[in-house]
Structure 1
Amino acid sequence: MSLVSDLRIAVICSSNMNRSMEAHAFLAKKGFDVKSYGTGDKVKIPGSAFDKPNVYEFGTSYEDIYLDLQQKDKSLYTQNGLLHTLDRNRRIKSHPEKFQETNEKFDILITCEERVYDAVVEYMDNKSPLDNAIVHVINIDIQDNLEEATIGAFLISDMCMMLAKTEDLDNEIEEVLHNFEEKSQRSILHSIVFN
C-alpha cells in the first residue's frame, strides 16, 4: 500500500499498550508511516484489583505479557479486553517501546494525555538536536479504556488526514488544528520542538 503522505508520525501514550497501539493500527491501515511508544517508567496494565496493576519492563514482548495474563486469570483478562488488546498489539509489533529510547526521527508526535505530552516536550527540549528539524508535538486527551481508545484512534486518524493534505505543514498546522478542534469538540495542545 502506498503511503498517504510522507509525514513520519509517532503516537505516544504511557505504556504503549492501548491508546497508542489502537491509533498505530488505524494509521497503518490508512497507509501512514507510523510508530508508537510509551513514556512511562514501566508498562502498567490493569490487574485483579485497582491497586494491583500488572507491571512489565519495556521490551517485554506482547506475546509474553499475553501468556502471563492468560496464566494468571484467563477469564478476567478475556472479559476486560486485555487479551484481545494484546492479541492486536502482537500483530502490529513485537513489544512495547519507550519513546525516550528511540533514535527515530518524526515530523509529528501525537500524545494521548497531558502528562505524556509534558514528558515528550521536556525530553525533546533537553536532548541535543540532531539537525534542528521542526517536530510538532500535539496532544489530544484520550481516556485509557478500550472504547475511548477506539474513538481516539478515529480522531487521530482524522487529524492526520487533515495534516497530510497541507502544502506547508509548518505554516498551516495552526489553522488545521483550530479547524480540527472545532470539528471534534476536543481541545488540542501543540508545541514545536527540534529534532
Structure 2
Amino acid sequence: MKLRYAMVCSSNQNRSMESHFLLKKEGFDVASYGTGQHVKLPGPSIREPNVYDFGTPYKHMFDDLRRKDLDLYKRNGILTMLKRNLGVKTAPQRWQDNAGDGTFDVVLTFEEKVFDMVLEDLHTRDHVLLKPVLIINLEVKDNHEEAAIGGRVALLLCQAIEAADSWEERIDDIICSFEKHHRRKLTYSISFY
C-alpha cells in the first residue's frame, strides 16, 4: 500500500524535517509542516530567537544566520539543520495553510499541543471526501539528538503502517505492538477530509 504522510511540529522545523528527510530517503510520499505563526530558530539567547515567516527559503535563513554569527550557529547545529532542510525542500510550510496540498493518510506529530492543533484544524474543515486520516503523536524532545532518534523511530512506525493491508483495520494492533517494542507511548486519533 502506498500512503501519503505528513510530519508536523511546532515552529522550528527540526523534528518534522528530520523525519521528512529520512522518509523521503526511503521512498515515502511525505511532506512536512509547522503549526506556529512563524518559524523560530534559536538565537544568541532564549529571548532573542531568529524569527522568519513561513515560506522564507531555507537558503535565506542559512545565509542570514551565517552572516550574523557563523561560529554560534555552526556550534549549536542550526546551520547543519538548515543545510539538511535545504536538501529536502525549498522553504518551510505552515500546516494550517496546506489545504491546497491535497490529503494525507497519516499525520505524525511530535508534541501533544501540535497533535491537538492538527486535530482541531481537521475537525473544523469541511468533510466533503469522507476520507479517513490517521493522526499519531510521537513525543520527541526538541533538540538535535532527540530529533535524530525520533526520526528513526518515526520511520519504523511509518514502515509498520505501510506494511499493513489496511491501517484502518489494523491500527490498534500496530500501535500496541509498536509501543511494546519501542517502549514509547503513542496517542492517536482518526479524523476525515
TM tier, smaller: over 0.9
In the alignment, which of 63, 68, 86 is matched to residue 64 of structure 2?
Answer: 68
Give the C-alpha shift of residue 78 in structure 1: 0.3
SS of the counterpart of 1:22?
helix
Equivalent in the alignment of 1:159: 157
Opposite residue 40 of structure 1, the aligned amino acid is G
TM-score by length of 1: 0.96
Q: Distance in 1 between matches of 2:64 and 2:19?
A: 25
Report the alpha carbon displacement of residue 51 of structure 1 after superposing the two structures with TM. Answer: 1.5
Task: Report the AA paired with residue 108 of structure 1.
Answer: V
Query: Where does the alignment leave 5 or more consecutive residues of structure 2 unmatched?
Result: none
Partner of 2:36: 40
Q: How does 1:18-33 map to 2 (within 5 A)?
A: 18-33=14-29
User: What stretches of structure 1 of length at least 5 have no aligned partner?
Assistant: none
Q: CA deviation at 1:67?
A: 0.8
Q: Cα deviations across residues 111-145 of structure 1 (Å, max 9, x unaligned)?
A: 01001000000000011123010000000000111
In structure 2, give the amino acid aligned to 1:43.
Answer: V
CA RMSD of superposed structures (Å): 0.9
1:105 maps to what in 2? 103
Q: Which amino acid aligns with 1:162?
A: A
Q: Deviations over 1:64-112 (max 9, x none)?
A: 1111101110100000000010011011100000011112210000001
TM-score where L is the length of structure 2: 0.97
Instruction: Give, in angstroms, the shift of residue 16 of structure 1.
Output: 5.6
Q: Which amino acid aligns with 1:95?
A: A
| Aligned match of 1:147 | 145
The counterpart of 1:132, out of the listed 130, 133, 137, is 130
Are positions 1:8 and 2:31 aligned together? Answer: no
Aligned residue number for residue 54 of structure 2: 58
CA distance in 2, matches of 1:113, 1:122: 14
* 4+ long deviations beyond 6 Å: none
